[in-house]
Structure 1
Amino acid sequence: MTTTTHGGTKVSASKNFNAELHARPSIYFSGPSLVEHVAVMPASTKIPGIAEVRPKSLSANDGTRVQVEHHTEFTTVTKVTPLKLPLQEWPQDTNFPRDFDVSTPPFRLICRVSVLVLDAPPEDISPVLKQYGFGDTAASAIGGGAAQVCSDFLVGPGGSSRILLFNGELNAYRLGRMVRRICEIETYRSMSLLGLPEARRLAPALKGFDETLTDLTNRHLNTPVEEHEKLLDEISTLSAHVISATAETRNRFGATAAYATIVEERIAELRESHVPGFQRFGVFVARRFKPAVRTCSATALRLEQLSHATMHLLDLLQTRIQVGIEYQNTVQIRAMAERAAVQLKIQRAVEGFSIIAISYYLLSLLKMTAETLDHAGLHLGPYTMLVSIPVVIAAVALAVFRVRHALK
């Protein structure tokens, strides 16, 4: 039911958030059983988001229980089938219900785990392991010594990896949670390793990127100015390839790191202790699992470093080109300034000649005026013309200077 605060804000979402705490229930059971766990994901390249269908537990005949869980990238189906002892050999895997047939499209199988739960372990588990055909086996006491888990981590003819769990003191609730952790270790380990093929696929390309980057860096030191544009195009092409590879694998490598963290958490939750004569279960997983995770992490880091180095080289070349352009602009501005200075000198020289020319023209007009007046009977003395010369020159010069000042 939706409730509101005093301000009228809906808070029904808090109920959904709280439901996440109970979103992944375990199948609680007791007694000898065969637990079959399968993880599948869509075969298409598109990975859907979190499914709207909540995990559910389905009852089947003869006490068999099936639980389906929808995760972000994958779906898991877990089936628990009660068994009757004694067993002479490993029980054959049963078929899942038709609705969860993982052998047909559009699913692809990620991992298949078969966990055989037996009663308390004998003092020497070696004959039991030999009876069920285990090879080089890892074993640990788990749950504070309340149970023992054993596996050789080999995939059998049915496509399942087999795990043997001896239950000593675990009740139905603890047993269900313990089996769930073991299945999650295998599931998240398989999901995490999906990044390894991507890392291997990128290895030759990364080597080529490194060689190209080294070559471009060396050429950057000695490339003449006229070849900068060609070098810029090559660096931009390399940067585009690196960014494309990073974008293609970022989600996968990020998921690998996240799933690896979950695997480590689930191993820690087993609370393992040593079983004499056997390598610990968690140590076996970690020693063969962590190198693959580190390979993915190193590939992601290498891509990031390549991207930074390429962008840095691109910035350096662009800076070098910009400095060259600025130098050319400086040279052009300096040449323009020199031309302007020469033009100014020419202009000043022209202004001097223009004063003389205008003064000469005005004095000629005065002379013609004086001659005209002389013919008319009005005689001007020679001193008048003599005095008018400096006056006209000074007046013309003053007018030119005022015009130049106004233009400035």
Structure 2
Amino acid sequence: MIQHLPPHPQRDVLTGELHARPPLPLQTPVAISRLALSGDSGADRGAGVAHLASLCRRYGVTPPAPGADFVLADFGVFRLRYERHTEFDGWTFLRPGLSDHPDDPFAFTAIAAVPTDWLAALPGRTLVAAHIAVLPTAGEDEAPPPGCFAPDGLAGASLSGGAATAWTDFRLGPDGFTRILLQDHGLTPALAGRLAQALWEIETYRLFALLALPPARAAAGELARASDRLASLSSRLSGLEELEAEREALEELSELATGIEQIANATADRFSAAHAYHALVGRRLQVLREERLHGLPTLTEYLERRLDPALATIQATGTRTAALSVRCGRAVDLLRARVAVAQEAQTQKLLAAMAETGRAQLRLQETVEGLSVAGISYYVLSLAGYALKPLPWGPLRLDIILAALVPVIAGLVWIRVRRQRRKLAKSARRG
């Protein structure tokens, strides 16, 4: 019946998401080596699968499909679990067997069975490298062999109602791997797989959460200097009176705001990822269902004491960056408003001066216009006198005739000048 219904294009993908990267059932004893390599920005995300394909061809194993995100492969002496995450590739090697040295459960490792030349060519940079030894143990209170972990940094807990015990010091061993000992007191293969996966994911996610700590520490100094500079600039604002000084202060504030935004842009993604990874660590710790053991701190207590302060520093830096950006933005807006008011006042003064100049020009133009009418009328009357003088006027006198023509000629000249001025004004407005 369902095949006759139109499916959503993402239905199969979303259904399979709940079953992605399932835990592997484990038969103890087994040695696990975990690597997580982060790629460079813009690096080929398919390089890991291509490198895995080369290992498959070497062992005669069917290679994975290009672009695969999750691969399980059995190479005989070891098994490999490959996972491609958003910013790293996870490589988990599993090798059944026990160490020949009872006092050192980590003398037998899974990664020792992997070709060294292939390991050396793994794409990316290694951030996480951990060994997990899953060993059957008769007694639930059996402590790890001396020398496995640093006594002053040991954490341990009973897991899943006493079915297992986990020990670690979260420190790098002589080979550069952190070590986790998982003692089996009656684990089922499925539970052993879930606990082992939770442990290697805790180790992976805690380190990726801490990736934001160095940028947070570096940003703290820059933010302190930016805060001092902002305080100094803000204290100077009230004493600024000249527009040029306000403009210079506005440029300084804009430069400071740009620097703060650059810090925020450079750290925002890393800080957001740190909080996401920290939340994943907390969820994986819940899977362990820890109980206190021998008065030692549990893994949760150990990580809370060491990891939570680092995350608090990261969060505080992010909050401080946002607050400083808001403060700087307010100062920029305030000073920009002051500069705008000062510019508006300056513009008003300029417009008033231009208006006064226009009025003066108008008065001058009217004066010149009156003189022009008088001058033109004089010349017209002079020419009229020369033209009328030879004519016989009888009893009429020429000077009386010219006197009568004065207002007529002056009026005509004034009308002509006015029309010409209006025509010029209208043409200037159109232009």
Band the TM-score falls in, shorter-chain normalisation: 0.7 to 0.9
Matched, 1:263 2:292: no
The CA RMSD measured in Å over matched residues stands at 3.9
Per-residue deviation, residues 313-352 of structure 1 (Å, max 9, x unmatched): 4455455444444433332222121111011112222333
Per-residue deviation, residues 33-62 of structure 1 (Å, max 9, x unmatched): 3333232335x6765547524433333556
Q: Which residue of 1 aligns with 2:218?
A: 201
Q: Which residue of 2 aligns with 1:341?
A: 359
Q: Is the 8 A contact 2:205 2:280 kept in 1?
A: yes
CA distance in 1, matches of 2:389, 2:161: 137
CA distance in 1, matches of 2:291, 2:325: 45
The CA deviation at 1:380 is 1.9
Q: Which residue of 1 aligns with 2:193?
A: 176
Alignment of 1:92-111 (within 5 A): 92-94=107-109, 95-98=112-115, 102=119, 107-111=124-128
* CA separation of 1:220 and 1:102: change in aligned 2, threshold 3 A: farther
Q: Is the 8 A contact 2:36 2:128 kept in 1?
A: yes
* CA separation of 1:359 and 1:112: change in aligned 2, threshold 3 A: closer
The CA deviation at 1:117 is 2.9
- Residue identity matched to 1:263: V
Matched, 1:211 2:206: no
Q: Is the 8 A contact 1:192 1:256 kept in 2?
A: yes
Q: Is the 8 A contact 1:55 1:70 kept in 2?
A: yes
The alignment covers a number of residue pairs equal to 397
Q: Which residue of 2 aligns with 1:138?
A: 155
CA distance in 2, matches of 1:405, 1:74: 80
The CA deviation at 1:291 is 1.4
Q: Which residue of 1 aligns with 2:92?
A: 78
1:289 to 297, 304, 307: 307
Q: Is the 8 A contact 2:80 2:91 kept in 1?
A: yes
CA distance in 1, matches of 2:93, 2:328: 51
* CA separation of 1:186 and 1:357: change in aligned 2, threshold 3 A: same
Matched, 1:34 2:26: no
Q: Is the 8 A contact 2:104 2:145 kept in 1?
A: no
**TM-score normalized by the length of structure 1:** 0.78
* CA separation of 1:348 and 1:85: change in aligned 2, threshold 3 A: closer
Q: Is the 8 A contact 2:134 2:182 kept in 1?
A: yes
**TM-score normalized by the length of structure 2:** 0.75
Secondary structure of 2:353's counterpart equals helix
- Residue identity matched to 1:31: T
Alignment of 1:252-401 (within 5 A): 252-275=270-293, 277-368=295-386, 371-373=389-391, 376=392, 378-380=394-396, 387-401=404-418
CA distance in 1, matches of 2:341, 2:411: 52
CA distance in 2, matches of 1:181, 1:34: 15
Q: Is the 8 A contact 1:199 1:296 kept in 2?
A: yes
CA distance in 2, matches of 1:129, 1:97: 27
Gaps of 5+ in 1: none
The CA deviation at 1:145 is 5.5
Q: Is the 8 A contact 1:32 1:85 kept in 2?
A: no
CA distance in 1, matches of 2:98, 2:382: 140
* CA separation of 1:399 and 1:57: change in aligned 2, threshold 3 A: closer
Per-residue deviation, residues 330-376 of structure 1 (Å, max 9, x unmatched): 32222121111011112222333334444444444555555433xx3
CA distance in 1, matches of 2:226, 2:388: 95
The CA deviation at 1:384 is 5.4
Percent of aligned pairs with the same amino acid: 30
Secondary structure of 1:72's counterpart equals coil
